[in-house]
Amino acid sequence: MNRLLVLTELFLPTKGGTAVWAAEVYKRLGGKEIHIVTADVPGADAVDAAHPNAIHRLDLKRIPWLRPESLAMYARFFFKSLALALTHRFDAIHAFRALPEGLVAWAVARLTFRPVAIYAHGEELTTWGRGGKFKAMRFALRHADRVVANSEHTRDTLLEMGIDPAHITIIYPGVDVSVFRPGLDTTGLRESLGIRPDEKLVFSVGRLSRRKGFDQVIRAVAKLRAEGTPLRYVIAGIGEDADYLDGLVAEHNAQGIVHRIGAVSEADLPRWMNACDVLAMPNRDINGDNEGFGMVFIEAAACGKPSLAGEAGGTGSAVLHEQTGLRVDGASVETVAIGLTRLLSEKDDAMKIGQSGWKRVQMEFAWERVAKKTLALSQKMTRSDKT
């Protein structure tokens, strides 16, 4: 039996890879003996009723007039977690980020003599400057019994921060292979946008932020279309760059070629992955902000689709260049266009790459595989704590 206390501000129904990761792994490790402390958000009741773990929801909103504005959030996290740790015999405490969860988890773990593991995702390590927030994050990571890195790139960043390499374990995020799989019914998706059968479909999905490369794909698609390549581009997601991307579409006269469809449902996302020819997310580094891994790439691979990724950050763990996709310089529209051309025009090559990605997902990225690695980590921590 796995008795774990898990701290994660991000949890379903909140969107994003971290929220999905926390929900998918721990439900495979146990039932109500695993307690998850997380934020109270709209729609939480429905998620909690269906989830096998014990979910504890807190008001974790920052208070603008408080200094620091996160003080109340830390206090709520700490006292609830400490109360649970004092009334349950947990084997270990897991925190899904260094801040705020990791710092709280470390304090509770030391007060209750339990081992603590903290997850590191990559982008938070390089975007928080070198001030007080960074120092607090580094303190939590340095004092954790185990740090889980989501990629080799994240591990390397942790090493640069002075984290003991013996304390770092790499566990890749995963994908639900029963949901993301080839052969799904895609009827009506392409038709809803008037995409003809002879037109290739490039697809991107995620938070609309500059580092993910949506803007570069718009430029590359407009370039290829002007050169006579029959293709369309569909962007799914919401975020701060929405207006910027709409302006870029207008600037390149790409209305009717580029379609921004907003957030898509959980049911429709794997269908769009099946409907497309290529998933394109040519991420790049923007002032230290880069992709730590890129779960979207393995979701596409699970559907048998090749990906075009950028070379920045940790995407090399998600996309094996020339094997499960292509990695190009996301800062160069020309290289993005060349990569798209290859994957769209060389059908046999693209199909082979897609198949290779699908096989790799079955072997390494199914959530059951991730759960086994997490279980092994917890068991090792527990044995170490007892010696």
pLDDT band at 291 (very low <50, low <70, confident <90, very high): confident
Separation CA 32–CA 4 (nearest Å): 10
Backbone angles phi, psi at 4, to 5 degrees: -125, 145
Q: Report the pLDDT averaged over residues 28-39.
A: 97
Residue 132 predicted with pLDDT over 90 = no
Architecture of domain 189-364: 3-Layer(aba) Sandwich (3.40)
pLDDT in tens, 68-119: 788 899 999 999 999 999 999 999 999 999 999 999 999 999 999 999 999 9
Q: Report the pLDDT averaged over residues 201-228.
A: 96
Q: Is 62 helix (H, G, I), strand (E, B) or coil?
A: coil
Contact 168, 149 (CB under 8 A): yes
Q: Report the pLDDT averaged over residues 161-181.
A: 96
Per-residue pLDDT, 387:
53
Q: Is 147 helix (H, G, I), strand (E, B) or coil?
A: strand
**In which residue are the tokens 């279980």 written?**
375
CA geometry: angle 55, 59, 61, nearest 5 deg? 130
Architecture of domain 4-174+367-386: 3-Layer(aba) Sandwich (3.40)
Q: Report the pLDDT averaged over residues 247-265.
A: 96
Per-residue pLDDT, 383:
67
Per-residue pLDDT, 361:
97
Residue 127 predicted with pLDDT over 80 = no
Nearest of 128, 127, 155, 206 to residue 314 by alpha carbon: 155
| 4-174+367-386 and 189-364 share one fold | yes
Length, in residues, of the chain: 387
What is the domain partition of the chain in residue ranges? 4-174+367-386, 189-364
Separation CA 103–CA 98 (nearest Å): 6
Per-residue pLDDT, 240:
96
- Single-letter code of the amino acid located at 207: R
Mean confidence (pLDDT) of the chain: 94
The predicted model scores a pTM of: 0.89
Distance (Å) of CA 281 to CA 198, 209, 289: 23, 11, 15
